[in-house]
Amino acid sequence: MTTLLSLPPWFPLHFVPASNLVGILPVLIVGGGSVLVLLADLAVPRRGNLVLPVISGVVVLGALGTAVGQWILNATNPVVFNGAFADDRFALFADFVVLLTALAVICLSPGYLRRRGMEEGEYYILLLASLTGMLVLSGATNLIVIFLGVELLSIPLYVLAGFARDEPLSQEAAMKYLLLGGFASGFLLYGMALIYGETGHTGLAAIHQQLLQGALSHSFDPMLLAGIALLSVGLLFKVSAAPFQWWTPDVYQGSPAIVTTFMSVATKVAAFAVFLRLFSATLAPYRSEWEVPIAVVAIISMVFGNLVAVAQTSVKRVLAYSGIAQAGYILIGVAVGSPDGTQAALYYLAAYAFMNTGAFAVLTILSQRGEDCDRYSQLAGLWRRQPLLAGLMALFMLSLAGFPMTVGFFGKFFLFSAAIHDGQLPLAIWGILTSAVSLFYYLRVILVMFTAVPDADSDTAPTLAGLSLEGTAVASSTAASVGIPAGVVVVLAGVGTVVLGIFPALIYTLLQGITVVHG
Amino acid sequence: MTGLFPGFLILSAAMFSVGAVGVLVRRNPLVVFMSIELMLNAANLALITYARYTHTMAGQVFALIVIAVAASEVVVGLALITGVYRSGHKLNLDELSEMSE
């Protein structure tokens, strides 16, 4: 293997070919950044400064820049570490979405943490550690690396879910996430063990070869099928598809809103990246065996998520059930299996990142000391208090419902048309029917914001106009410095939702010709 | 070894089942957590058995990595369970349900 540069012998990783290190540069930057923030947390005075968020933001921007560079200089065979990790455009696209989400979350964090009285440096360390796991996962082409990525993603999130240490709901969320996440990891790992045992390999490319031979002779190994089933259960759990969704509503509702933002978007994107890589490339020879189960899970998720969301009284729970339904829509892209389906799923993930980050960002901005903005009554009359926020929230709700002129519309359009092209008409019909149901609860949020009169409960809500979204209690100059980035994030998410809804080609052209490499 | 091969796999499957049932029926989070560890170790046993059977090293490496990952998961998990206990909850999963619709 040719090396672009040779590292000096004192360098910690000098025995690894430099091209490998270049291939995982975003992972190295974010992982190193996590350690850097850990050290900086010891050095800087504890509360009320922006050193840690600024360092974290710079780290994520650096990783983003590196990923863009890798995209432009895309090598012909971008597989590194003997086929254990791929930095192909598929992985890089998922990296973009995850990193942009993380950047938005970091911009929202200082103001939110201050209002909620949770300004601890550990937050940023854990956020970056979890982000490292997501970047590992998006490029993983080996079962061992996939497992490492899943765990590196999950373990910091267990802690983040319980980050509001004084709040019983947050503790309950952390406990449930830990136990059910561990349960899912067990299934994932046992599935991997069976696949390894039957094929003798952990690399996805070698497994693919074994599956091809089996499929050619029409002998589907039952142990291998069991392994694939267990692996799918573990991954479906992570993407919160029904019937593996029990944890989602409780964890989304109990976790601090900013953590839910990160969890609901970035985790789902990373987990779907590995899901798509496994099913559209590695397990493609066995497609006749997994196609129907995945399609059934997709339909159950769409129906269950959308129907149960109607009955919720907590906004975070509504968004959690909406997330389950969205997982169902994306699973259509997996079940279709064609390159069209993969591209449509990737497009939907990007669209989902914009609209869901935006919706949760509005909730984080409205959250106050002691409690998140979670009840419909807290959104009541928002239009009169904060017209900009109410308008943007309405936009995100319409986009999640799939209204034309929003990015959500094209996300659904590409998925349904991919399903129809592939001859899977039922999937598209179920998708369209459940989208119609989803209008009910998305419109209810809008209705509450625009018509209801705020009750006595929400009189204490921040009543600031425009972009200075900080509560009146904190009226110093630092209030603006944490309020403005948060406002910019929400506005940018809104702009992205509209612009990509009018010019979907901006992202779709990026996706053209993306092929999934599996080592 | 080849004679023992199905035996180890059956033991591993039995361990996994015991763990999975334990997660579902036990109500003490510590015991549930132990059951999860049992599931992970069942997978480890399967990995090592298969490594011997297929004459590859990947399974043994995988098992070592799983041991390390499980250790870090235990550290975080026990800390979280302790935190929940300190915050005044009883250690019973049935009573840990303030959120439900």
Domain boundaries, chain A: 21-511
Q: How far apart are CA A248 and CA A323, in angstroms?
A: 9
What is the structure's pLDDT at A125? 95
Structure confidence by residue, pLDDT tens digits, A230-255: 999 999 999 999 899 889 999 999 99
Phi, psi of B83 (to 5 degrees): -60, -40
Structure confidence by residue, pLDDT tens digits, A168-200: 889 889 999 999 999 999 999 999 999 999 999
Closest approach of A518 to chain B, Cα-based (Å): 18
User: What's the whole-number mean pLDDT along residues B58-70?
Assistant: 95
Q: How far apart are CA A516 and CA A290, in angstroms?
A: 18
Structure confidence by residue, pLDDT tens digits, A28-71: 999 999 999 999 988 887 666 788 999 999 999 999 999 999 88
Round the average pLDDT of chain A to a whole number and report it: 88
Which helix or strand (DSSP H or E) is residue A80 part of? strand A79-80
* Residues whose CB is less than 8 angstroms from the CB of residue A177 and which lie 6 or more positions away in sequence, other chains included: A157, A158, A161, A247, A251, A255
Q: Is-contact A399 A413, C-beta < 8 A?
A: no
Structure tokens at A294: 């995945």
What is the structure's pLDDT at A480? 63
Q: Is-contact A366 A464, C-beta < 8 A?
A: no
A313 and B101: CB-CB below 8 Å?
Answer: yes
Spell A174-198 as b/e; 16+ CB within 10 A means b. Answer: bbbbbbbbbbbbbbbbbbbbbbbbb
Place of tokens 């899977």: A424
User: How many other C-beta atoms are found inside a 10 Å radius of the C-beta of residue A432?
Assistant: 13
B39 and A190: CB-CB below 8 Å?
Answer: yes
A189 and B39: CB-CB below 8 Å?
Answer: yes
B36 and A253: CB-CB below 8 Å?
Answer: no
Cβ–Cβ contact A196 with B under 8 A: yes
Cβ–Cβ contact A352 with B under 8 A: no
A186 and B59: CB-CB below 8 Å?
Answer: no
Spell A461-486 as b/e; 16+ CB within 10 A means b. Answer: bbebeebebbbeebeeebbbebbbbb
Cβ–Cβ contact A260 with B under 8 A: no
Q: What is the 3-state secondary structure (H, E, C) of A224-250?
A: HHHHHHHHHHHHHHHCCCCCCCCHHHH
Q: Quick one: closest CA in A to B24, which residue?
A: A183
Q: Is-contact A444 A393, C-beta < 8 A?
A: no
DSSP A82: T
Residue A462, preceding peptide bond in cis (omega within 30° of 0) = no
| pLDDT surpassing 60 at residue A468 | no
Q: Is-contact A119 A279, C-beta < 8 A?
A: no
What is the structure's pLDDT at A76? 58
By Cβ distance, the residue of B16, B72, B101 closest to A312 is B101
* Chain A neighbors of B62, CB-CB under 8 A: 143-144, 147, 192-193, 196, 202
* Chain A neighbors of B77, CB-CB under 8 A: 158, 178, 182
Nearest one of A20, A6, A22, A29 to A73, comparing CA atoms:
A22
User: How many other C-beta atoms are found inside a 10 Å radius of the C-beta of residue A223?
Assistant: 12
Which amino acid belongs to residue A110?
Answer: P
ipTM: 0.94
Largest CA distance in chain A: 72
Which amino acid belongs to residue A374?
Answer: D
Domains parsed from chain B with CATH numbers: 5-86 (1.10.287.3510)
Q: How far apart are CA A244 and CA A229, in angstroms?
A: 13
Spell A93-130 as b/e; 16+ CB within 10 A means b. Answer: bbbbbbbbbbbbbbbbbbbbbbbbebbbbbbbbbbbbb
Cβ–Cβ contact A176 with B under 8 A: yes
By Cβ distance, the residue of B32, B73, B99 closest to A151 is B73
Structure tokens at A340: 């069209």
With bands split at pLDDT 50, 70 and 90, how would you rate the model's confidence at A77?
Answer: low
B43 and A174: CB-CB below 8 Å?
Answer: no
By Cβ distance, the residue of B83, B88, B101 closest to A165 is B83
Q: Quick one: closest CA in A to B13, which residue?
A: A190
With bands split at pLDDT 50, 70 and 90, how would you rate the model's confidence at A464?
Answer: very low
With bands split at pLDDT 50, 70 and 90, how would you rate the model's confidence at A465?
Answer: very low
